[in-house]
Amino acid sequence: MAQDNTDNNNVENGEELIPDDAYSQELGTDLDDDTPDKPKGIPLHSKILIGLLLGVISGLIVNYTLGGENESVVWVVENFTRPVGQLFLNLLLMIVVPLVFSSLVVGIAGIGDIRKLGRIGAKSFGYTLVISAISVIIGLTLANTMQPGKRVDPETNEKLQAKYGSQAGSRVAAAINVSAESEKYAKTVRNLSGRIKTVAGVVAAEKEGASKFSDEVAAFTKTADQFAIDLPKSFAAADPFYDKADKLMASAETAAKRTDLLAIEAEKVLEETKGFVGNVKSAIAAQETPLMSVVRTIVPRNVFHSIAGPNPNMLHIMFFALIVGIAITLIPTPATKPFVGFMDSVFSITTKIIDIVMKFAPYAVACLLFNNIALFGIDLLVSLGWFVGTVLLGLGIHFFGVYSLSIWFLSKMNPLEFFKRVRTVILTAFSTSSSNATLPTALRVSEENLGVPKEINSFVLTVGATANQNGTALYEGITVLFIAQLAGFDLTIGQQLAVVYLAILGGIGTAGVPSGSIPFIIGILAMLGINPALIAIIIGVDRLLDMCRTTLNVVGDITAATFVARSEGFELLKHAKKP
């Protein structure tokens, strides 16, 4: 009888899910006429792929021929490619808050029945828990089998910690501290040239090079001074030495700028780390479990404060939208129709903005990939090959194995057809490293290319952008065991089960922004009694792996949406447009 009621109810007031016949009228005909996925000429996903390849290839060429510390390379990144890439990300993130709020409110109002909402929510949450648990178990199994932490030689370990240690914990503060050797070097250089104000910003990452450079500068200084003493009439003869010293100074300035780029990204992670550490401290003070701490922080005291902050709290915003949507379903339709119509208009406006912004995606993607590859190259991937290989293998097993089985058995869909239809989402997620930035594209593609009803789509994908991050959970599990192995810790079965538990929570509560999992990993390490500063060793490769795990996160959200839609009786692909 429940299914009959679902099929027979009208959708005029959005009180029930739209059955297939009615859904075709809403989704079917208009999509074929004018949609962003059917552009004239080269399709958008192909353009993004071309941009991605151009960014990687050009970055490798530049890094190999000029090096990441070259002054011209740093200038191009600072003044062109990085601003372009950041502008694209900001444009996407700019509309996330209105999109998330309007999407959830309209979606819940469209479901129109508290019982149906509860059923859909239970299915989504159950799917998230099971798939996240599987992902963490895959990660821990591979980490225990491949033992990546025990395959890093001590010399490489020491070098990587020296190079990236300033970014762990109080990463920015550590970058400002200067060793006595660097101070001595700075004083010598200032005496050589009045144009140089300071080189105190050169951190541990440049320590070895700075030491060698300091010796060279000292030698040139000594020689130049000798010229000035012995040949007072031939000061011009000393000029080449000072000129060469000036060039060395320019190289030092370039190195300092490159360090500043690392510090800028580190500041973002530091802010999230402070917030997470604050939650952990509060939980300990109140003798709460981590789960209770997460639950307690879901409900905002002031939702406007959560929205207006530099990093909007998406859990707070989604909870508030959920409450508003539920309230709408409990109020007679005439009283709420204007507000729901307004929210629907907001959703339509934001999706149109997305269409406009995504036209620039190929160029932005090329810039984003160029930034990382040109500055840092792939040397770190070689140094941490076992760790990177373990993570990528785990992500690959989950993506092509677990997801394919879910799509085939639960969503009743051909996995190859599924991946083909969501390829634009895959490329966008990989390029931006942000579930939130990819959410607008995921919403559109899931509805248009897969035929997921708008009501289910809005609820599952919007919540999933923060609460369903299987790739992050897998990565956190592998990273914790890797660092434990590196530090000589043999975690017991009980401790590894705790890692599973905490990593699942991390997958649910981690911010959907680049490197959002780093603060949670630091927290897990601290709880296990492992020095959190050891996170420094994986900082250099985190961004590349972040791109991969974000792809897994976003695709996992879409698999959840197709599962829920199928379980509610909708035949997927029937009314979707062809990709």
Measured in whole angstroms, the distance separating CA 69 from the mean position of its chain's CA atoms is 25
User: Can you tell me the distance from the alpha carbon of 207 to that of 192, in angstroms, rounded to the nearest whole number?
Assistant: 20
Contacts of 79 (CB under 8 A, 6+ apart): none
pLDDT in the model for residue 144: 95
User: Can you tell me the distance from the alpha carbon of 457 to that of 564, in angstroms, rounded to the nearest whole number?
Assistant: 9
pLDDT in the model for residue 67: 84
Which of 157-161, 278-282, 327-331, 514-518 comes out lowest in average pLDDT?
Answer: 278-282
pLDDT in the model for residue 488: 85
User: Can you tell me the distance from the alpha carbon of 549 to that of 546, in angstroms, rounded to the nearest whole number?
Assistant: 5
The ranges assigned to domains in the chain are 42-152+298-567, 178-267
pLDDT in tens, 524-570: 888 888 888 788 778 767 878 888 999 999 999 999 999 999 999 99
pLDDT confidence bin for 176, thresholds 50/70/90: very low
pLDDT at 280 over 60: no
Under 8 Å between Cβ of 238 and 227 = yes
pLDDT confidence bin for 113, thresholds 50/70/90: confident
Q: Is the dihedral of CA 426, 428, 433, 437 positive or negative?
A: negative
Whose tokens are 């447009």? That residue is 577
Mean pLDDT value across residues 374-386: 76
pLDDT confidence bin for 204, thresholds 50/70/90: very low
pLDDT in the model for residue 475: 93
pLDDT at 296 over 70: no
Mean pLDDT value across residues 441-464: 92
Which of 178-187, 421-430, 520-529 comes out lowest in average pLDDT?
Answer: 178-187
pLDDT in the model for residue 410: 96
Mean pLDDT value across residues 361-384: 81
Q: pLDDT higher for 448 or 290?
A: 448
pLDDT confidence bin for 517, thresholds 50/70/90: confident
pLDDT in the model for residue 194: 43
User: Can you tell me the distance from the alpha carbon of 564 to that of 510, in angstroms, rounded to the nearest whole number?
Assistant: 23
User: Can you tell me the distance from the alpha carbon of 447 to that of 445, in angstroms, rounded to the nearest whole number?
Assistant: 5
Measured in whole angstroms, the distance separating CA 353 from the mean position of its chain's CA atoms is 22
pLDDT at 41 over 70: yes
Burial label, 48 (beta-carbon count in 10 A; 0-12, 13-18, 19+) = buried
Mean pLDDT value across residues 380-387: 78
User: Can you tell me the distance from the alpha carbon of 77 to that of 85, in angstroms, rounded to the nearest whole number?
Assistant: 10
Q: How many CA atoms lie within 13 A of 271 on its CB side?
A: 13
The mean of the pLDDT values for the chain is 76
DSSP run (H or E) holding 397:
none
pLDDT in the model for residue 301: 81
**DSSP 3-state of 561:** helix
Stated length of the chain? 579
Whose tokens are 């099929």? That residue is 7
pLDDT confidence bin for 180, thresholds 50/70/90: very low
Instruction: Report the 10 Å Cβ neighbour count for 330.
Output: 8
Whose tokens are 């559109």? That residue is 444
pLDDT in the model for residue 259: 60
pLDDT in tens, 384-402: 889 999 999 999 999 999 9
User: Can you tell me the distance from the alpha carbon of 317 to that of 304, in angstroms, rounded to the nearest whole number?
Assistant: 9
Contacts of 503 (CB under 8 A, 6+ apart): 132, 136, 139, 473, 474, 476, 477, 480, 524
pLDDT at 158 over 90: no
Mean pLDDT value across residues 322-336: 88
Under 8 Å between Cβ of 212 and 182 = no
User: Can you tell me the distance from the alpha carbon of 84 to that of 258, in angstroms, rounded to the nearest whole number?
Assistant: 18
pLDDT in the model for residue 174: 34
Measured in whole angstroms, the distance separating CA 298 from the mean position of its chain's CA atoms is 21
Contacts of 564 (CB under 8 A, 6+ apart): 120, 123, 124, 127, 456, 460
Q: Is the dihedral of CA 58, 59, 61, 67 positive or negative?
A: positive
User: Can you tell me the distance from the alpha carbon of 274 to that of 266, in angstroms, rounded to the nearest whole number?
Assistant: 12
pLDDT confidence bin for 247, thresholds 50/70/90: low
Whose tokens are 């007679």? That residue is 332
pLDDT at 201 over 60: no
User: Can you tell me the distance from the alpha carbon of 343 to that of 359, in angstroms, rounded to the nearest whole number?
Assistant: 25
Under 8 Å between Cβ of 257 and 78 = yes
pLDDT in the model for residue 332: 75
Query: At the topology level of CATH, where does 42-152+298-567 sit?
Result: Proton glutamate symport protein (1.10.3860)
pLDDT confidence bin for 172, thresholds 50/70/90: very low
Could you please report the per-residue DSSP string of 76-97? HIIIIIHHHHHHHHHHHHHTHH
CA angle (256, 262, 264) in 5-degree steps: 100
pLDDT at 137 over 70: yes
User: If you compute the radius of gyration of the chain from its CA atoms, what whole number of angstroms results?
Assistant: 27
Q: pLDDT higher for 380 or 560?
A: 560
User: Can you tell me the distance from the alpha carbon of 517 to that of 276, in angstroms, rounded to the nearest whole number?
Assistant: 10
523-533 burial by CB neighbour count: b if 16+ within 10 A, else e? bbbebbebebb
Closest CA to 182 of 212, 223, 161, 219: 212
